[in-house]
Amino acid sequence: MTVLTPSPQTDVAGDEPWRPRTPLGRALDFCRRKPLGTIGLLIVVIFALAGGFADWIAPFDPEENDFSSMMMAPSLVHLLGTDQFGRDIFSRLVFGARTAMIVGFGAAVGGGLIGLVLGVTSAYFSGWFDLVLQRIFDILMAFPLIILALAVVSVFGTGVFNVVIAITIPLVPRCGRVVRASALAVREIPYVDAARALGFGHARIVLRHMVPNVLAPFLILLSAFVGQAILAEASLSYLGLGVQEPVPAWGLMLQGGAEEYATTAPWIAVFPGVAIMLTVLGISLFGDALRDAIDPKLRDR
């Protein structure tokens, strides 16, 4: 009697050939399953590309004053109008996207990575190190993000780099606390004990064996941190403690015309406000879709 075995090129049912999923296939499947997340990612990519290629996209110098063209309404020459100093709003909006992305991704990645390492290290060593570090996290998390960022900016001063530092510091404990909770479960898995028995160093166990197993919640947090950082930068700039003139920034554009010219030239405040709203909305949509795709409990809903 001949025994038939399934071919390695077919699936169990024998209906169609089995092929390993490529990164492109996973991306297309994500777009098909999560259309809102895809739209959010597309919005973020558009603003990121606009900021990256602002030198070629912007028709005018964003810092050039033209007092003969002050508060002009949107037209074919000035697509989104001009502000109270005659500066082209579209050009400043495009260059402001660069500032928002630099601060948003810089603070989110910096705070996320520091929080990731500290959270996993705290869970790994436990004991007095974990106790002291968690109390420091509690103190930092007792202050709202914007309040702590204001305190840091008042110490270090204004400017893009200092704003990134000011937003990074409040994000560290928020990431570290969530990552620690996941790392505590990973620490109890037998392969961590096996790595210790083989004589691996603490740094290798933390970075190569524990960190990769907490990347799922970390990536979800990272997407949320980008939106929070962009909002925090806009808030600091609006209060006059963030990015300073003449650097183009969406918060500065709101500060310059949101109140005084709200009735006579509403486009001065409307367009940067819409840019902030769309960017944060896009990041939120993508973050929610990424959470559903990564979390196995939500993947098939």
| 67-113 residue pLDDT tens | 888 888 888 888 898 888 888 999 999 999 999 999 999 999 999 99
CB 240 within 8 A of CB 153: no
Q: Is 66 helix (H, G, I), strand (E, B) or coil?
A: coil
What is the average per-residue pLDDT within 288-301?
66
User: What's the confidence (pLDDT) of residue 12?
Assistant: 47
CB 176 within 8 A of CB 141: no
Q: How far is CA 123 from the centre of its chain?
A: 25
Per-residue pLDDT at 247 exceeds 90: no
CA distance 89 to 243: 17
What does CATH list as the number for 32-58+71-294? 1.10.3720.10
Whether residue 228 is predicted with pLDDT greater than 60 in this model: the reply is yes
Per-residue pLDDT for 180 more than 70?
A: yes
Q: In this predicted structure, what is the pLDDT of residue 257? A: 61
Domain edges within the chain: 32-58+71-294
What would the mean pLDDT of 179-201 be, rounded to a whole number?
Answer: 82
Q: Model confidence over 135-160: pLDDT tens digits?
A: 999 999 988 888 999 988 988 888 88
When pLDDT is cut at 50, 70 and 90, the band that residue 49 belongs to is: very high
The pLDDT of residue 253: 85
In percent, how much of the chain has pLDDT > 70? 89
